[in-house]
Amino acid sequence: MEIRPVLDEEHTELADITVAAYLGLGHVDDEYEPELRDVAGRVAGAHVMVAVDDGGRILGGVTYVPDRASPYAEFDAEHAAGIRMLAVRPDAQGRGVGEALTAECLDRARSEGRRELILHSGTTMTAAHRMYEKLGFERDPNLDWWPTPGIELLGYRMHLEPGQAE
């Protein structure tokens, strides 16, 4: 598996994968679906990466938010980076794709000197919660928020030390 920036011609495929993954968990409504599909917008305001198999098939993707100035930031901390819209195609789940994409975000945050990596996850995304905790993220209820009525997002944070190696 290779992790690399999404190519322009892959935007539609990644949008479909992202919407399908979030639909499967009940986290898509008419307001959020256009945001999930807007890969080009995410590329313009953050870093979008994909995991591809040996044949070049997209297995999943993630949006790495480098700082609070990004329009995709869900945090205010000056020293933080974030993860948004992590999605793995259903037939590739359970193969370490999400973990590899998350590790890439951790590596980027460390290389950029960020002091923490922040993400939010829906309450029903229990497999993702286990993965985040396995990687060293900690639940932070102070980061929890409700973007729309009935949708609660759980906050996770990982503190990073300067020069810390993976």
What pLDDT is recorded for position 162?
62
* pLDDT in 10s for each residue of the chain, 166 residues: 999 999 999 999 999 999 988 776 666 667 778 888 899 999 999 999 999 999 999 999 999 999 999 999 999 999 999 999 999 998 998 899 999 999 999 999 999 999 999 999 888 888 889 999 999 999 999 998 877 767 778 999 999 986 554 4
Inside any domain, residue 133: yes
At residue 34, the pLDDT reads 86
Cβ atoms of 52 and 58 within 8 Å: the answer is yes
Q: Which residues contact 10 (CB under 8 A, 6 or more apart)?
A: 39, 50, 58
CATH code, domain carrying 89: 3.40.630.30
The phi and psi torsions of 12 (rounded to 5 degrees) equal -65, -45
In a domain, residue 165? The reply is no
Q: Is position 10 within any domain?
A: yes
Based on the structure, what is the number of domains in the chain? 1
pLDDT given at position 40: 96
Residue 166 covered by a domain: no
